């Protein structure tokens, strides 16, 4: 067995790095299950927890920063610890072809250190795959928030990321399951994810899949759906295919995947018809033009059992080529449907209508020059105009008041003062309304004024 493992490692060096408490536990379960062709590395800030891991290589990160006491559920401490020990991490990664980074998100060491380790490996040209778990809901909102932020950071540092939400376990376990067993099941899901991929490379098969096939499907692919299905009985292949495609433990699905890797392992009695039906069920949910890579192997120990591993990637929309655009335009010219525009405000709508010529302002008439419209407009009515006319008429007819201030004349409120009455050149005014003196008009008849002559005589003289 050791010779076989050494031969495999000569072709593809696979390293699994478990980061933090959950990552170390997942590594222990992989070692206990006899996972072949893989080198295990444990990374932690907690020295005591690191010593309990069975990995052949152990790295205590942030020894100066944490003194071996852990990150205290602070991702920032985990990140700084990994940066402090990055040279030691690089030495361990050097020469690897495929690196798995596994951890439980939400704590301090795994959440903070995993993106740093993955970034170092990818910068060295290593195909890097992240397999992480999200915390249970009962672990608190703070831990879930840390997990979401850590997953977002890790996604930018790996080629492919597989996320296993622990809350999904609650849908498949019984009420009698203890908390300790639930965490063990969560660790085992991480083990299954890594084993499902590493076995494709490390274990020879009837239709073999090599490291190049895995790189084709998983390099720079982002989020991935990784399903593992196990079936028993006559319908075992169909049963396993359904479980692999519709895994109850994952948030993702195979729908729309543009790259799918399928590996089927079973006993020697697997029929070609059953294999064909299982593959049809898997590919039916993927993209019609998806790149399908198929592998199959025989395991004599699986008498009435079959295992199917499905890795689906390429869910992000691929860039459309020029040829594809031309073919689509010739084959099926679709009607242009503009994207719905944002609803304009009432003021903007009114302006748009005026620009389009749909409506015009009320004071404008089409095809009439401005100067013509201005000349034809009726005069503006002024409610104070009649009062001004009466005032002007009164000021013209009555004798002006010479006691007014000169500033009143300067403002134009009154007409300039006429000649004094006793001037020989001034007209003589007479009453037309009796003695009221309200309205007077000039008398053009001339007479010499004599103050000693009684008024009735003056009137008699004027009547002559």
pLDDT of residue 454: 73
Distance CA 122, CA 128 (A): 6
> pLDDT tens, 54-106?
999 999 999 999 999 999 999 999 999 999 999 999 999 999 999 999 999 99
Question: What is the Cα 246 distance to its own chain's centre?
Answer: 28
Among 299, 262, 254, smallest CA distance to 278 is for 262
> pLDDT tens, 403-446?
444 444 445 544 555 544 444 444 544 444 444 444 444 544 44
CB 126 within 8 A of CB 97: yes
pLDDT of residue 20: 95
- Beta-carbon count within 10 A of 121 CB: 28
Q: Which residues contact 260 (CB under 8 A, 6 or more apart)?
A: 217, 254, 282, 283, 286, 290, 291, 292, 293, 310, 311, 312, 313
pLDDT of residue 212: 85
Number of residues written out for the chain: 464
Rg of the chain taking only CA atoms, in angstroms: 49
| pLDDT beneath 50, residues of the chain | 1-9, 317-339, 362, 364-365, 399, 402-410, 413-414, 419-426, 428-441, 443-447
Distance CA 191, CA 200 (A): 14
Among 72, 103, 308, 309, smallest CA distance to 187 is for 103
Tokens of residue 12, six digits: 């593809």
CB 85 within 8 A of CB 59: yes
Distance CA 158, CA 17 (A): 13
Distance CA 258, CA 287 (A): 6
**Structural domains of the chain, ranges and CATH numbers in brackets:** 2-203 (3.40.50.1440), 224-337 (3.30.1330.20), 346-376 (no CATH), 385-463 (no CATH)
Tell me the binding residues for GTP.
21-25, 108-110, 139, 143, 187
pLDDT of residue 7: 46
Helix (H, G, I), strand (E, B) or coil at 15: strand
pLDDT of residue 64: 93
pLDDT of residue 48: 94
Tell me the binding residues.
21-25, 108-110, 139, 143, 187
Pairing of strands 98-104, 440-443: unpaired
Distance CA 89, CA 87 (A): 5
CB 186 within 8 A of CB 154: no
pLDDT of residue 225: 85
Q: Which residues contact 103 (CB under 8 A, 6 or more apart)?
A: 18, 19, 20, 22, 23, 109, 110, 111, 113, 114, 132, 133
Question: What is the Cα 59 distance to its own chain's centre?
Answer: 38
Quickly tell me which residue has 């006793």 as its tokens: 422
pLDDT of residue 462: 65
Tokens of residue 302, six digits: 């699986």
Tokens of residue 406, six digits: 């000169």
Tokens of residue 314, six digits: 């390429």
CB 244 within 8 A of CB 229: yes
β-bridge mates for residue 391, sequence order? none
């Amino acid at each position: 067995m050791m010779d076989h493992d050494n031969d495999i490692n000569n072709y593809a060096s696979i390293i699994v790095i478990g980061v933090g408490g959950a990552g170390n536990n997942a590594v222990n379960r992989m070692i206990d299950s006899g996972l072949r062709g893989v080198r295990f590395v444990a990374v932690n800030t907690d020295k005591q927890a690191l010593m309990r891991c069975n990995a052949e290589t152990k790295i205590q990160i942030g020894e100066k920063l944490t003194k071996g006491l852990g990150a205290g559920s602070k991702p920032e401490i985990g990140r700084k610890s990994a940066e402090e020990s990055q040279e030691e991490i690089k030495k361990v990664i050097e020469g690897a072809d495929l690196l798995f980074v596994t951890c439980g998100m939400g704590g301090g060491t795994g959440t903070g250190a995993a993106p740093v380790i993955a970034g170092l490996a990818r910068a060295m040209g290593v195909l890097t795959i992240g397999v992480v778990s999200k915390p249970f809901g009962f672990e608190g909102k703070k831990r879930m928030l840390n997990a979401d932020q850590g997953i977002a950071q890790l996604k930018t540092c790996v080629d492919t990321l597989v996320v296993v939400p622990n809350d999904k376990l609650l849908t498949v376990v019984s009420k009698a399951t203890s908390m300790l067993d639930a965490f063990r099941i969560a660790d085992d899901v991480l083990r299954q994810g890594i084993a499902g991929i590493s076995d494709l490379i490390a274990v020879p098969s009837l239709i073999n899949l090599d490291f190049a096939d895995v790189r084709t499907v998983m390099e720079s692919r982002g989020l991935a759906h990784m399903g593992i299905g196990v079936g028993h009985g006559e319908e075992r292949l169909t049963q396993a295919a359904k479980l692999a495609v519709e895994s109850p433990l994952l948030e993702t699905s195979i729908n729309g995947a543009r790259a799918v890797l399928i590996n089927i392992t079973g006993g020697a009695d697997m029929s070609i018809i059953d294999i064909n039906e299982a593959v049809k069920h898997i590919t039916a949910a993927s993209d019609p033009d998806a790149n399908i890579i198929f592998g199959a192997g025989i395991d004599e120990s699986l008498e009435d059992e079959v295992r199917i591993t499905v890795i689906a990637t390429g869910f992000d929309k691929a860039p459309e080529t020029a040829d594809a655009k031309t073919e689509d335009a010739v084959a099926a010219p679709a009607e242009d449907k503009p994207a719905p525009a944002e609803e304009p405000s009432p003021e903007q709508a009114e302006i748009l209508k005026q620009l389009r010529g749909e409506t015009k302002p009320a004071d404008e008439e089409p095809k009439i020059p401005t100067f013509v419209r201005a000349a034809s407009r009726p005069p503006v009515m002024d409610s104070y105009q009649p009062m001004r006319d009466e005032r002007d008429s009164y000021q013209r007819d009555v004798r002006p008041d010479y006691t007014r201030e000169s500033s009143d004349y300067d403002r134009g409120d009154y007409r300039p003062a006429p000649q004094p009455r006793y001037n020989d050149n001034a007209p003589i005014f007479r009453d037309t309304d009796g003695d009221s003196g309200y309205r007077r008009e000039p008398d053009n008849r001339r007479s010499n004024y004599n103050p000693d002559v009684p008024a009735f005589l003056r009137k008699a003289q004027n009547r002559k």
